Amino acid sequence: MYYSQTARLAVYAEGEFGKGHSKTAEGVIRYARNPVVAVIDSEQKGKTVRDVVGLDCQAPIVGSVSESLRFKPDALLLGTAWTGGRLPGAWRKDILTAIKSGLDIINGLHDFLGDDDEIARCAAEHDRRLLDVRRPPAELPVASGKAAGVSALTVLTVGSDCSVGKMTTSLELTYAAERAGRKARFIATGQTGIMIVGDGIAIDRVIGDFMAGATEQMVIAHGYDNDYVFVEGQGSIVHPGFSGVTLALLHGAAPEAMILCHKAAKTRIGELPFPITPLPALVALYEEMAAYVRPARVLGISINTAGLSDGEARHAVSAAEKECGLPATDPVRFGADDLLNALEEFRAMRGRTP
């Protein structure tokens, strides 16, 4: 566990809360056990979290780190990130202020605060902790396909693109499985997931040769004493920048089942001139690539319908269902039960009962 799940968090999302790059902030607010006591974004100051992102959270939005202090946070959690995950220069002053005010810093960027001379010195002087959640373990293995041997049903979320709901779908399935009486484990492979559940490895921060090995190690660690292991996927197998991370996760996790995640109405990969691959082609592609290590089936589709009306959302889900011939849902809006039912059926079919 990298940090106490009772610590009070101030979530830093300066200039970005509720916009395209605050998915870490929103994921933590939605799912972490830690109380979020304030969100920092001077552009949205005075509003509530509920106002801006519609999440069930009473935290106020304040204009600065100093203003957040009256809500008694224990740590400042950096809640926004851009492609590449570098530390923006403008954050430095706010991070130093937070440390001097007695806060630990929780950081999910590629740039580690512990390696930054000025910030590390400041933290040492004020006896504060710098939690670089993306820092991988020092020793990792090369994968050999042996995650295929676990007794749990390993379920990997895969996607049409980045930021389409893979972490969210894996978390919602974990909770749905637990509600149904199953022993289920969420395996965090990205910074937000790690912040939410308190451990994991950010696979996109691992050295190429060990990405699949890091994934394999986590699946094996949890795959023998759970009914389900839900592995958070990353990127997309057709994304020009991140496809290598995605394939390493697929071959390292060696899932038996996959859930394909897509964001409704998205037509291009990231902001690049590459079209979203049609969902049925993605189903076939992920199954084809998985099979070189272990045969796996896509058993359902998760459609992120954020921003759509209920009617539009229902239409998007049923279009995906028809197009792929698989159960589909938006697990946040409509619940994950349809997907869990498909997994339960598959589990029974594979002789794993109850």
Within 10 A of 195 (CB to CB), how many other CB atoms are there? 27
Nearest to a copy of itself of 76, 203 (CB atom): 203
244 in contact with a copy of itself (CB under 8 A): yes
| CB 292 to a copy of itself: min, Å | 4
Is residue 226 exposed (0-12), middle (13-18) or buried (19+ Cβ within 10 Å)?
buried
Site for a copy of itself contains 311 (CB under 8 A): no
23, 135, 205, 263: which one binds a copy of itself (CB under 8 A): 205
Distance CA 351, CA 275 (A): 40
Euclidean distance between CA atoms 105 and 108, whole angstroms:
10
Buried b (16+ CB within 10 A) or exposed e, 256-282: bbbbbbbbbeeeebbeeeeebbebbeb
Considering only 25-33, 141-149, 175-183, 325-333, which stretch makes contact with a copy of itself by CB under 8 A?
A: 141-149
> Phi first, then psi: what are they for 62, rounded to 5°?
-115, 170
Q: Per rule CB under 8 A, is residue 35 in the interface with a copy of itself?
A: no
Residue 115 in the binding site for a copy of itself (CB under 8 A): no
Tell whether residue 272 is a contact of a copy of itself (CB under 8 A): yes
Of 52-60, 67-75, 244-252, 334-342, which segment contacts a copy of itself by CB under 8 A? 244-252
What minimum distance in Å lies between the beta carbon of 325 and a copy of itself? 22
The binder of a copy of itself chosen from 217, 246, 302, 304 (CB under 8 A): 246
Contact with a copy of itself (CB under 8 A) among 38, 59, 153, 211: 211
Single out the residue of 152, 159, 202, 155 nearest to residue 182, CA to CA.
152
Distance in angstroms (rounded) separating the CA atoms of residues 249 and 196: 20
**By CB under 8 A, residue 164 contacts a copy of itself:** no
Q: Structure tokens of 146?
A: 């042996």
Phi-psi region of 85 (alpha: psi -120 to 50; beta: other; left: phi over 0): left
Nearer to a copy of itself, 240 or 307 (CB): 240
Query: For residues 98 and 187, which CB has a smaller minimum distance to a copy of itself in the complex?
Result: 187
Residue 294 buriedness (CB in 10 A; 0-12 / 13-18 / 19+): middle
By CB under 8 A, name the one of 36, 173, 237, 313 that touches a copy of itself. Answer: 237
Which x/- pattern over 89-108 shows residues binding a copy of itself (rule: CB under 8 A)?
--------------------
Residues of this chain that interact with a copy of itself (CB under 8 A) are 83-85, 110, 141-145, 203-213, 237-249, 251-252, 254, 272-274, 277, 285, 288, 292-293
